Structure 1
Amino acid sequence: MGKNLLLKLSILLLILGFGLHNPVYAATSPGEDLKKADVSIDQAIDFASKGDLSNAQKAYDQFNKTWIQIEDGIKGDSATAYREIESNMGQVVYAFTLKKQDQVLLALQDLKAVNEKFVNGGYPKEAGFKKEDISLDDFILILQQTKKEVKEQNQAQALEGIKKASSSWLSVEGVVVAQSASVYSDSERDLVSIQAMLAANPPNYRLANKTIDSMINYLTPLAEKSSYTYWDAAMILIREGLEALLVVIALMSFVKKSGEGKGRGWIWTGVLSGLGVSVILAVIVKFVISSGAFGNNNALIAGWTGVFAAAMLMYMSYWLHSQSNIADWNRYIREKSQTALSTGKLISLGILAFLAVFREGTETVLFYIGMASQIKLQSLLIGFLIGAAILGILAYLMVFVGLKLSLRPFFMVSSLIVFYLCVKFAGMGIHSLQLSGLIQTTNSESIPSIEFFALYPSWESTIPQIILVLVAVIIVLSKRLKNKKTVVENNTNTESRKLS
């Protein structure tokens, strides 16, 4: 048992390792790192002085990629230097959008001067950016500063501000979700929308300003709350755990119906490894790096996990629906009577359980970290236990009801639940990738925002959901036509035998 569990955990964690691996920049000292990165700025200045703005942009982009890898070192060495470098980088980005040689060259030279000042020790040593997470009041202040840049129509600074808000969101989302799930959903939607409005050509300053105003208005009342109860803590676990629970229960009920014991082992392995990795990741965020620094990475992890889980849920939903015919199910059981479920399917059950639990588990523990400073430890633990107890009762009822159902209703209900989660995970996954900036956002006022389905007013997240629904409809209709054709053929064969 121990060896098998260890082997299963190793396989699942290896898969995760390939997905999350990110090479770390080999740092020496912050000054030396920046000096090496400045080679790209020198190249950009050289190209810009010759009027070659295209290659100047490419050289600057290379500096920006390196900056992302070394900025924590500069930030830890001098908060003042970090702010000035970031500000000058914003000026460079803005100059490139204007496509004017003299402004690009001046902005690059100013950035070069600031970098050299840091390399030569011209800034005071001050760790102004602490590892402590920012408060919701601080987050609202970032929005207010961004609003000011939007009003003055400073595109580069406004974009920088909203990106800062997006990366800092992880620090405050636990405080928000503990009080209002709808405000939490609205905040994530609006952060993506504002960034798209400001990145548009031309930028939609009017709508961006209106949306930031709306965010400030609905977040401000939440910032006034200074402490939380055990019920706030319980609701976080119930809300976040329910979707993962639905996936796990559907998988468990399926292997119970099939009489395959090994499948349960893989599912439990996926659940435990998902919980374990979630806790480890949260501890790293809390004690090793700041939540703000982890913000985009968390969005990327949540995004890709959601997309992969949606793909697997789509297959699982199709497979469950295909077994709703009793004759098909009996034939499947006969075919697998010797080996039960194939090894590939067993592993996929574990991976799907892992993805569902890991995605929701990471969110849950990070939410708890966000509210930990504003709730008594006793209340937090009691809330967690109450939430776990309620989820346990729901799990028991789901399994009990599921096993009482006959085969056809069981598979039909299970396939509908799994397909619903498939659509929702797809929307949530793509939205998280938009939040990280990996996928662009095309807003549309004609698309409603429906939290239940993770439907957001952007074409990039909505179109894949529409495609999933259309594919499901086509599959259901084609299966019905096939069944009707089979019935007609069987009736024809029966009549032929009677006549003969």
Structure 2
Amino acid sequence: MELQAFLITFREALEALLIVGIITSYLKRVQRPEFNRYVWIGALLAVFASLGLAIVFQVVLDGFASMGAETYMKVSIMFISAALLTQMVFWMAEQSKGMKDKATSKFDQFITTGNVVGMIIHAFLVVLREGVETVFFFAAITGGDIGKAMQGWGAIGGIVVAGAVAYFFFKGTMKVSLSRFFQVSGFFIILIAAGLLVQGIAILQDMHILGSVMPHLYDLTRFLPEHPIDAEHFIRDTGTTPWFSGQVGIFFKALFGYSSSPSVEEVMVYWMYFASLWLLLRNRADKKQAAAAKPSPSDAHTAK
């Protein structure tokens, strides 16, 4: 869970810091640094609003728990989070092209009209979007205990590393390109999304909402139990110790969606997700290459 929280906060905080950094750098370049404080005011207000949202969301989750509908809420959050994380991957595939133009286009109007309120609101909404997504993802990876994710080293570490990356990026000392960072983090985001998707399927099967043609396709508990409790049960039933600790299983479950005894549907959904994502990304890349290779009207006229 800590690694998941780290990757999520790193990704969300990095995007927010990059956009805020682009805006403040732009204001400095056009010799209007006096507006920077309004950008940071909007960003700080969004941070406090995100914390408030986390509290409200936790109250809502607790309300569902008191009504006996907590599991349905958790499954819904898992599926929605998997969809949002997948959307992140497509954004990362763009390698942040156009980020600078999108971030600064509105500020030209704000500077011209001196619209301070507009600057604050724009910065507020940019950062709040990342905060909302973070709260939602934390609810998914912790099963509804948002505070648990916020108190661990993962959330704090993700913010610290994102801040360091953004700082060195704008100082011009970053050796690795920003697009490479998004590619690497995108790979781990895919793993988290696939894991949430499969965990949601498993919960629905445990609730007998979904059936299974083969409830246990294989059993790797002897090799790697997915939880210390599974390891204890295995030792109790067989008198032998698994090859690896259940703590290792927890790590792989959090990162890869590992299950020591999955149903055939879980395995199929897991690998179909990767195959579908690969096909969609490849199709998008092929379309871009085709568009780039297509001569523009002006080039065609010159050739004639």
Q: Considering the TM-score relative to the shorter chain, is it more than 0.5?
A: no
Higher Rg: 1
Shorter-chain TM-score bucket reads 0.3 to 0.5
Structure with bigger RCO (C-alpha 8 Å, 6+ apart): 2
TM, length-normalised to structure 2: 0.41
When the two structures are superposed, what TM-score results if normalisation uses the length of structure 1? 0.27
